[in-house]
Amino acid sequence: MQKIVPAILTDSAADLAKKLKILAGNTQWVQIDVMDGLFVPEISVPLSVLEDLADDFDYEIHLMVQDPASYLETCQAVGAKRVIFHIEGVKNPEHVFQEMQKYSFERGIALNPETQLDVVKKWQQQIDSLLFVSVHPGKQGQEFIPSVLEKIRALRMFSLDILLGVDGGINEPEEFKKAFEAGADYVVVGSGIWKSKDPIAALRKLEAMVQ
Whether the CB-CB separation of 45 and 74 falls below 8 Å is answered with no
For the question of residue 167 being annotated catalytic, the response is yes
Domains of the chain and CATH, by start: 3-208 (3.20.20.70)
Q: Is residue 9's pLDDT more than 90? A: yes
Q: Which of 173, 94, 161 is nearest to 129 (CA)?
A: 161
Q: What band does 146 get if pLDDT is binned at 50, 70 and 90?
A: confident
Q: What band does 92 get if pLDDT is binned at 50, 70 and 90?
A: very high
Burial (CB count within 10 angstroms: exposed 0-12, middle 13-18, buried 19+), residue 162: middle
Q: Is residue 120's pLDDT more than 90? A: no
Q: Is residue 138's pLDDT more than 70? A: no
**Which residues, 6+ apart, have CB-to-CB distance to 24 below 8 Å?**
54, 56, 57
Whether the CB-CB separation of 6 and 190 falls below 8 Å is answered with yes
Highest mean pLDDT among 37-41, 61-65, 206-210: 61-65
Percent of the residues in the chain that have a pLDDT greater than 90, as a whole number: 68
**Catalytic-labelled residue, pool 15, 52, 67, 167:** 167
**Catalytic-labelled residue, pool 33, 118, 128, 185:** 33
For the question of residue 33 being annotated catalytic, the response is yes
Looking at residue 132, what is its pLDDT?
94
pTM above 0.85, yes or no: yes
